[in-house]
Chains A and B, each alone.
Chain A
Amino acid sequence: MIGGLFIYNHKGEVLISRVYRDDIGWALISSTGGRSRRNAVDAFRVNVIHARQQVRSPVTNIARTSFFHVKRSNIWLAAVTKQNVNAAMVFEFLYKMCDVMTAYFGKISEENIKNNFVLIYELLDEILDFGYPQNSETGALKTFITQQGIKSQTKEEQSQITSQVTGQIGWRREGIKYRRNELFLDVLESVNLLMSPQGQVLSAHVSGRVVMKSYLSGMPECKFGMNDKIVIDKQGKGGTTDDSGKSGKQSIAIDDCTFHQCVRLSKFDSERSISFIPPDGEYELMRYRTTKDIILPFRVIPLVREVGRTKLEVKVVIKSNFKPSLLAQKIEVRIPTPLNTSGVQVICMKGKAKYKASENAIVWKIKRMAGMKESQISAEIELLPTNDKKKWARPPISMNFEVPFAPSGLKVRYLKVFEPKLNYSDHDVIKWVRYIGRSGIYETRC
């Protein structure tokens, strides 16, 4: 169980400190004037934030106390515990906490945290109780932790909140009404790749999320369908066989997935159907990962030639590999340069390329690029002879982009809405679906 939670700025100053349990040194505070809590706080600052070597592990154990941290821009969130807790749970909580804070006051920055510290303490009181995580659903929290001044609630309202928060469907309150029933569905994927210089895929996977924004009246029952291989195969067997061959191609194999708490897992387990009563507003319906039959939107072909000790010639070709009608955006290729680079000349056919000394890389940016096209950059790198005998390690060339389809091949087949009590049907709901594929770590060795 989490003993305490601290938020630091980049200098290691404590912005928020909330202690839930005595074991991280709270007990001694009465006698020594808070010295030991300071110890825990300082230990993290000294050993992690200001460590000589950059600390890469998100879990640090100092004097039998575990510190779990996540970093958002320059802000460190650290959960502290003396017990042997489930680390995944702690991190899940920390991420949830980031989401909650973002939902309340936008970007997590030092200024925002300082401006909202009362709110943050209020949230911390609610989402953690004696170190045990509680309801961290933003929608539910927003009903009773508001940023408007204190508004005294009537008895009725209070009991309603209580029954809702402690009830079976804690994430949605009753009596929501919209004039226009509308829902937005985003399939967001990030594709990760490591490729050898010869074009061989060394590892590739897609991690995706289905994010929904729903504005529906009442307590609607929804059902979400996609081209999950298992479901399609099952239907193919049971139903007609007219397009089984086709559906086999179009279905995808999902390696693993997780759902929002609103999804009925029992139903998923038995029928593999995703049915749920959605929360109001924005939420993440599911998360998944696939590793088979991934569409790689770009192919990078590097060519590096060392000319003597003082010169390096680099040529990189990128090929887009999707329907010509689609447009990729925000393309950025990052070509690392040796540490003893003393000068760079770049020529590219498309976009803009620049040598960024501060990052030891050539950065090539292209705004837009259609499918089935190719583009090329060539650079001459001058080197300063050094005394160091060690060779340049040739880090991989990495790439960023955004494409309007799902590289995993996922398709939304349907999303049905039933609300028996109110008189609107599935057809009355306006539905929007959007696919966005982004690059995760998309690297090619050179």
Chain B
Amino acid sequence: EEAEKRANMPAVSKGDGMRGLAVFISDIRNCKSKEAEIKRINKELANIRSKFKGDKALDGYSKKKYVCKLLFIFLLGHDIDFGHMEAVNLLSSNKYTEKQIGYLFISVLVNSNSELIRLINNAIKNDLSSRNPTFMCLALHCIANVGSREMAEAFAGEIPRILVAGDTMDSVKQSAALCLLRLYKTSPDLVLMGEWTSRVVHLLNDQHMGVVTAAISLITCLSQKNPDEFKTCVSLAVSRLSRIVSSASTDLQDYTYYFVPAPWLSCKLLRLLQCYPPPEDGAVKGRLVECLETILNKAQEPPKSKKVQHSNAKNAILFEAISLIIHYDSEPNLLVRACNQLGQFLQHRETNLRYLALESMCTLASSEFSHEAVKTHIETVINALKTERDVSVRQRAADLLYAMCDRSNAKQIVAEMLSYLETADYSIREEMVLKVAILAEKYAVDYSWYVDTILNLIRIAGDYVSEEVWYRVIQIVINRDDVQGYAAKTVFEALQAPACHENMVKVGGYILGEFGNLIAGDPRSSPLVQFNLLHSKFHLCSVPTRALLLSAYIKFINLFPETKSTIQEVLRSDSQIRNSDVELQQRAVEYLKLSSIASTDVLATVLEEMPPFPERESSILAKLKKKKGPGAVSVNELEEGKREGGELNGGGERGGDSSSTPSPSADLLGLRAGPPVTAAAPSAGSLLVDVFSEAVKQPSPTAFLRLFVCKNNGVLFENQLLQIGIKSEYRQNLGRMYLFYGNKTSVQFVTFTTTVTCPGELQSHILHIHTWNSLEPLIEGGAQVQQVINIECLTDFSDAPLLNIKFRYGGALQNLTLKLPVTINKFFQPTEMASHDFFQRWKQLSLPQQEAQKIFKANHAMDTEVLKAKLLGLGMALLENVDPNPENFVCAGVIQTKAQQVGSLLRLEPNAQAQMYRLTVRSSKDTVSKRLCELLAEQF
């Protein structure tokens, strides 16, 4: 505070020498102790009080002096509870210094006294409407400094007018723009640009560079909120930028900073452009590209000055330009040039530049155009990782290596990262470990390399290897039989080190327990040797690891009967069977019993090799994402990168668009509140799997829908917060659906609203839906509420209505969109008929479009009873003894819609040998046949 004062005061006291103030301040400075200072201040305060109270009016000068003293005392940290009135009086003075002090006091000591606020606002209003630019500026600065909601309410309407008025002075315009920006930031709802929009945008064309600089800050902020309204600023910004870029360094006079023309303005223009996609207008785009090229060219020119300010200004523009190029991500030429430019910076002696270059390159690496160009700098980056003195730079280097990694350089990068890990800073080790683990997995060409890498990782940085990493190795080893033998051999060797990390013991225990038999042939790793090796580590390990080892031992008994007695001995020892830890004791007791009672057959069944794990997103990747937070570019980019290379794991098809046909990856439920990456990851179809990753119960969203084709009641949706149950009944063309919303948490949901919509055509023509009773907006913790929906089928339909649910849980807005399980088959009326009737009608419906046929592979076991139940659930009548082949099923029914009735016949021919079905549907309406066929094909 004092420093601030020191900076402020001399100017004031020199200007018109307030001697009293200077004396007072020097008195305070000379105080020997805090007590002395407080005494001096008390004395001064009493003096000022008596002066303010005094009968004779004070002149402007004294008032200013005393207000100044009060301000100084306040800034020293004492409370001031008077003098506001005197300060407000100063506002109406005609002298600049008095007015200035008044405004200063008010901006620093804002008081919420309504009477005073009214007076202050009045004074500000007077100053704003005065023709004196300095007074207007003072008033604007005061509004901006206070920036309260009351201020915004009073002046938000006035300031835009001042900003765009033709006769306003440039300096006032500048202040007005910045003042408006401040008000917009504090209370955006009060600042409505509306009619002023285009005139504000045109400030970009202003003659005065200062006005443009101030206005562009405002425009950038506004256009981030409503980009469409300010779209026109793009072309203006481009032309302004091109004028600046192409101007000679002397053209802009005052706005040339160390030979760089208007660097701040240029940066702001470039940043504004980053709010928008590349301009569509060819001419504008051409001009912009030209600008960017010029900026890149200028970077190559020799510096005009050796001063650091010159290069800073130049580089600021350059980096901003590069961000814009990256943002557009559409100009291969520019991207490559930017990359080369950054490459030069990588070896610059300025640490900051190296840091920025690494950071920008990280984003460049993810662009398909510049990925190769980035890769050429690998040696430099590796060097940076090893030799940079600043840990934050090393961190960036590690990020960049991670981002530039692909199949071609994975081995090199992983090796380098591993070697760096030995000396890496503790703060980044865990992240490095995760990255190495992911890269190793993603770009593994052969799995022995992968196993080697991960085991090395555990050896070097065991403490930083999280659970996920070693879970992952085990999953991979279990799912790939070609690597199991190698893995067993490697862990066996690794375990022979005198000191090995607990994680290594865990991996070793698991793998030897499963695949120890693959290396048991070698006398050096005979079963007993293996067991003794594992058991030698046992006592050094924590409880969970010991539990794992006990499981490994019982597996040994199954694999190698000759070790049975030894292991039983171990299990029987007091340290196991009477262990104070319940888990260990239980395992010991149960395993001991199991091994002594069960026959070898039973043992073999119980202790069978682990089955392959189902596919799921790599939990390591999830962990890295969590670490970085949703905003982290590099991870997202990595995901993108994953799509391009046809790596080992990226074999699966990427999620298709959510079209009308329910493809497995279509995001029907809109459940993926997280970044889209989450959604993409599982469908990236990694062959590798992940048993241990958190089992969030979220089967593919359409699965819910599929479940309800043949049944009317059940659980529609469930996550950690909410469960939605459904019960429905249908008669003729009408249906009624009961929805039960259950709050699974102990906290209440507030503002709970649901809406049912029928997208597209469904809306008016096909299906008529209205909800009956509206819901209470509150659901208490653990409570359940019910909602009834009435449905009327007008004509046949194929899509399903959407149910949208919004509520707040602990402050966070939850938004769910689900498909309601209303399918056309719900409106079936079963029709019983004899064999010959059936075939007569079957023949009547012989037009090619009336028939829909599908041959598909069985998804479930071919159980006749189950099939029957499903077909009955469909709503049609199941006709017995109609088809000559008793294996086949035939059904008949009529779909009741308001407009018409659609008779439908169905024939399902199972082929048990081939595990295939042939399904034929004929109905009087082609769309119905098609839809029924689609629906049913997923059921069997």
Contacts and interface: CB of A to CB of B under 8 A. Distances in A.
A158 interface: no
A385 B53 CA distance: 9
Contacts of B308: none
Nearest to B116: A387
A342 B84 contact: no
A340 interface: yes
Q: Which of B40, B43, B47, B111 has most chain A Cβ within 10 Å?
A: B43
Contact of A387 (B40, B46, B113): B113
The 4 A-B pairs of least Cβ separation, nearest first, read: A357-B46, A342-B53, A358-B39, A342-B49
Interface string B37-62: 00110110111011011000000000
Contact of A357 (B47, B52, B111): B47
13 contacts: A74-B33, A339-B45, A340-B81, A340-B82, A342-B49, A343-B50, A358-B46, A359-B39, A359-B42, A386-B81, A387-B81, A387-B111, A388-B81
B307 interface: no
Interface in A1-26: 10
Given A340-B81, A357-B43, A358-B43, A384 B53 contact: yes
A341 B43 CA distance: 11
Interface residues of A, number: 19
**Interface SS, B side:** helix
Given A340-B82, A357-B47, A359-B39, A384 B52 contact: yes
Given A54-B34, A343-B53, A360 B81 contact: no
Contacts of B49: 340-342, 384
A382 interface: yes
B32 interface: yes
Given A358-B39, A386-B81, A341 B33 contact: no
A386 B77 CA distance: 19
B379 to A, nearest CB: 39
Contacts of B43: 357-358
A257 to B, nearest CB: 34
A382 B889 CA distance: 106
Contacts of A341: 46, 49
Interface in A310-344: 339-343
Nearest to A382: B53
Given A342-B53, A357-B42, A359-B39, 5 more contacts: A340-B81, A340-B82, A341-B46, A343-B50, A358-B42
Contacts of A384: 49, 52-53, 82
A387 B82 contact: yes
A10 B36 CA distance: 12
Interface in A43-77: 52, 54, 74
A377 B635 CA distance: 81
Interface of A: 10, 52, 54, 74, 339-343, 357-360, 382, 384-388
Contacts of B47: 357
A388 B33 CA distance: 29
B46 A342 contact: yes
Contacts, number: 49
A313 B933 CA distance: 99
Nearest to B31: A10
Contacts of B52: 342, 384
Given A386-B81, A387-B82, A342 B50 contact: yes
Interface in B17-43: 32-34, 39-40, 42-43
Contacts of B116: 387
Interface in B50-91: 50, 52-53, 77, 81-82, 84
A340 B81 CA distance: 9
Nearest to B51: A342
Contacts of B33: 10, 74
B50 A360 contact: no
Nearest to B47: A357
A387 B84 contact: yes
Interface string B658-673: 0000000000000000
A386 to B, nearest CB: 4
A342 B46 CA distance: 6
A248 to B, nearest CB: 47
Contacts of B81: 339-340, 386-388
B763 to A, nearest CB: 60
Contacts of B42: 357-360
B573 to A, nearest CB: 44
Contacts of B45: 339, 357
B82 A358 contact: no
B32 A10 contact: yes
A74 B32 contact: yes
A74 B36 CA distance: 11
A252 B53 CA distance: 55
Contacts of A359: 39, 42
Contacts of A386: 81-82
A382 B51 CA distance: 12
A246 B50 CA distance: 59
A247 to B, nearest CB: 48
A357 B111 CA distance: 26
Contacts of A360: 42, 46
Contacts of A382: 53
Contacts of A388: 81
B117 to A, nearest CB: 12
A10 B111 CA distance: 36
A74 B82 CA distance: 33
A342 to B, nearest CB: 4
A48 B113 CA distance: 37
A13 to B, nearest CB: 13
A386 B52 CA distance: 11
Contacts of A343: 50, 53
B86 to A, nearest CB: 11
Contacts of A357: 42-43, 45-47
A340 B45 CA distance: 9
Interface in B96-142: 111, 113, 116
B455 to A, nearest CB: 40
A343 B43 CA distance: 12
A342 B50 CA distance: 4
Contacts of A74: 32-33
Contacts of A358: 39-40, 42-43, 46
B3 to A, nearest CB: 15
Contacts of B40: 358
Contacts of A54: 34
Contacts of B32: 10, 74
Max count, chain B CB within 10 A of own CB: residue among A10, A54, A382: A10
A10 B47 CA distance: 28
Contacts of B82: 340, 384-387
